Structure formats: C-alpha cells, structure tokens
A and B are shown apart, each in its own frame.
Chain A
C-alpha cells in the first residue's frame, strides 16, 4: 500500500449495508478499533466488501446472551491494522447464519467450530460436519443456563469503553443497559433442575 493513500474505513466500507450500529472503539480499552452490528442477510456482502479491501478474518466467536446467540466476527487488515468486530444476533430456538466460507475459505473451520460449541447452523458451509467435537455428541458445551445469561449490554457496553457511536439505527437497543443492570448470578442448583444448557459441574 503506498503511503498517503487513505484506505476506506469500515464505516465507509459497510455504509451501503446500513449497519444497525457502527462505532469507533478505543483500542487501548478493548483491543478493537471498530465495532458493528449487522443483519444476518448483510453478512455475505459485508464479507465480500472486506475481502476486496484486504481484510482477513481472525476468528468467529459465539456468544450466548439473554437476547439470543451472537456470532462475533473479528476482522483485521495486514496493511493498516485495526480490528473490526462485526456482531450478528441470531435466534436461540433455530440459530442460523449464512456461511461466508465461499468468500473467506478460512471461515469454514471457524463456522464448524462455532456450530460445535453453540449449535449455530451456517447455511451454505461446504462441509457442515463437526470439527472438534465427536460425531453424534449431544448438547452444545458453551451454551449457558438461562439463569447465567447476561444481557449483551453488560458485556459490550460496560462503563469506560469510550466508544464513539457513528451510526445507530432507530430501534437498535441491544447495547442499552437492561432494566436490572446487575449481572445475573449463575445459579447452579436452579440450572440443573431446569436441565437447560450444559452441565457446568
């Protein structure tokens, strides 16, 4: 990359996809430079735009929160580093996201791993078999018991984050502090009784 050329920032790059939320982050606080919330439909187009602009996919992290399951895609750029986190919320009952393995071939394994741990189906993954866990295993080890689930805002909108919000769609409330802003305490005995999620013991 020639010095002096200004690379498009992620907010410019993803603007045509109308992200529900886009913020410039303080890397000294979070290790991120940008964070965004996109709809599942917009993900493949976002991936194509990012690949074209020279970004690579670092990892895909599943996350089980009160609002549902979230997949966090971390992207970074080798020529001009600065981490971008794209968050996509999916439904807990039938979690499904479009695969981006045809764009980023490296995503195939990340998606399979996230399917192993969270049960998210990645539609279009060329090889949707378990990656790390044995075949036919019951349950998803990183799903949380209902009582242990925190609201997304408790994790991603904690005080001192110093995010500069660039864009926020009407009705986007995932990062608003919940009514009971106190984090939910894991109640092991109760969770075992409901039989939901996995056994922490």
Chain B
C-alpha cells in the first residue's frame, strides 16, 4: 500500500548477505545499517562501528565510520536507541498529563522544554501568566541552562581525557540542583511549569540561595579559565577542529551555541522575544572562529550572561501570584487551532507545534529538538578529519541523545 514499504525492505535486506542469511567474507554479520554502510572505492579503507555504548557518545548514539588510516572518509550517525515516541504520547494524553514528558526529552535543560510546551498551549488557549511567574520561569530556566553548560563542560573535558574538571563542575552544579529542587521538587527531570504559571512559589530561602550562588559562580569562573580554557593541551585539541561555516549552519538548521560559534548572532530570546527577556540587559555571546573552541567559548560566556539575567530577574521579581487565578483545571480542553512556540534551550532553538481540533487531547504535537539539526551536520563536518577529532567534534555539538531521538 505504501511505497515506503519497498524502501524499508531495501533497508532491511542486507546487500552483503548471501542466500543463507550470512554476510560476505569481508563483512561482519550485523543489522541493516552495518550492511548498508558499504565500503567505498578505496580497498584499504576500514569500516568502524562507534557506539552505541561508546563513552563519548553520551546517551546512546552510534556512528558508522569509514576510515582511511586515521582519517574519516565518511560518517553516518545511527539514531533511535533512545526513541520513546513522545509525539504519539502527546496525542493520547491531555496537555497536563503530557507535562511530565517535557522533563524527559532533554533532561539537561528540561525547563526549556517545559517552557516550550506550556508556551504553545498558553498561546493556543489564550492563558494568561502572572508577572511573578514569568520572572520565576526566567530564573529557573537560566539556572537550568547553567547546570546544562556545567555538565557539558565537565563531560566534554572527560571525553578529551581531562578527568579533574568534571569534579569542579559537579561541585558547582550540585548547589544549583539543590536550589532547583526547592522550586521544582526534582533534581533533573523537571516538570514544574504549569499552564498559567509555575508549580510552586519561590521561598525566601530559594531567593537567598540564588543570591549567594551568583557571586560564588562568578568567583569560580576565573579558575575554570585558568585551569582549563587556557590550557595549551585543550587548545591544541579543539582549536580549528570541527569547522562549521555559516552556510552549513543554514543548510542544516543548526542553532544555539553551534550557530553562535560560527558567527551567527541568533538567539530565540532575541529573535522571537518571549516572556520578560526584553526587560533584562544581557549579551548574546558570538564567536567567529567556527571551530570547537569557538563553541566552547560561547558556552562559557553564556554561563556569565545567565548569571546576569538571574541577578536582574531577582531584582525585578515582583510580589504576587505564581499561578494565575484563572489558570485552567488540568482537565481543560484545548480550543481548535494551531500554535508554534520556540524558546532558546542550552542547545539551541526548541520548538513545539500543536495542532488541535478542539478534542480532549491535542490532534498533533511536533517537538523540534535543536540537537537533531546540530547533530545532522556531523557527517559533513567530520569528513576528512582525524578519528580522534571526531570525539572532539561530537562533544563540541553538546548532544543530548534522548532529545534527538525523542
């Protein structure tokens, strides 16, 4: 019935397989992906399977590589190991029931996904948000961005062979998780935004804790720079490695620090202003070197900018409700129509598109994950680089595989 059935069969049937189901002599028996990834014209090239359990492919990503010596001739990421079909779940649950899923798409910046979904629902249903809740969203989402960047920083250096930095990163991140736990009740898979506000109000202890964290984090950043950023070994490993020209960013729809490391000053908080970001003074860090180091520098600068945003948000935090008095009950029905809401996550542009026919559950929900587009350019970016550099490039893209697979 469907013409893709033939495509699926083509993908399933292994070209190297013989009639008895085995593979040809020089092919290791495997799944369709391995068998389809045939050796190219060079007889001396080597096919290497990296992942899905490779430590540098955070989460479970698999990459098929064709190598000429140590150089990558061809790379092909294989996805789906963490696929959970969130988009189907969104069609069979009402919006309130689906909220916990938003903590589990990108678990390193879960509050950005919270925001993208509540934003799309609020836009479609015309739900209002009290001003205090807007500021609480900004504060928690930016703190969450810092936790994401800290974890990326530690894990990236771990990939590159530096063990110590992740200890410092987790030390600082832990303080943030304690603070976010006060606001959200969770430490990782947050789902605390509500349609019309946020789940809980900020306690004086939370506000005090965040106030104390800001100077603490600022005092740590020079140490991060001295210990790691200026380290000659790191610089030699990632400078001029993984060059992504601006046209590649456009062709793949990349965003976030990947785009900003290539000189494109694109940030959804500025491009499609939402919430109260227009009432905060902050910069969009941009680098023009286009390499892994540029993306590194963008993320480090973003930690400082997020601290600036949180500081100003605390100063402007008004008294009032954290939930709108007319916020809908959890069982509310979405009106018919469509809405697209985008936010700036730690990895780039997160988009949620909802189409509703006025039924109990949304008719269609699309989750646009920034990591999906950022990783898509890996195959092109890694071509011609050293295998060891592939690890430096993958890490510089800051992938969270559950977000990519959804």
Chain A residues in contact with chain B, CB under 8 A? 27-32, 51, 54-59, 61, 63-64, 72, 74, 78, 81, 83, 85, 93-96, 104-106, 108-109, 115, 117, 119-121, 127-137, 140-142, 150, 154-156, 158-161, 183-186, 200
Contacts and interface: CB of A to CB of B under 8 A. Distances in A.
Contacts of B80: 130-134
B4 interface: yes
B11 A128 contact: yes
Contact of B336 (A85, A117, A154): A154
Contacts of A31: 120, 123, 339-342, 353
Contact of B87 (A129, A142, A156): A142
Nearest to A105: B251
Interface residues of B, number: 64
Given A27-B272, A105-B252, A136-B12, 12 more contacts: A28-B123, A29-B339, A30-B340, A55-B250, A74-B351, A95-B3, A121-B4, A129-B36, A130-B8, A133-B83, A135-B8, A150-B357
Given A130-B80, A133-B80, A161 B337 contact: yes
B308 interface: no
Central interface residue in A54, A131, A137, A140, by most chain B CB within 10 Å: A131
Interface in B234-277: 249-254, 259, 264, 266, 271-272
B366 A61 contact: yes
A129 B76 CA distance: 12
B376 A105 contact: yes
B380 interface: yes
B79 A132 contact: yes
A57 B253 CA distance: 5
Contacts of B9: 136
A135 B359 contact: no
Given A78-B271, A129-B36, A158-B335, A56 B340 contact: no
Contacts of A94: 1-3
Nearest to B32: A135
Nearest to A137: B8
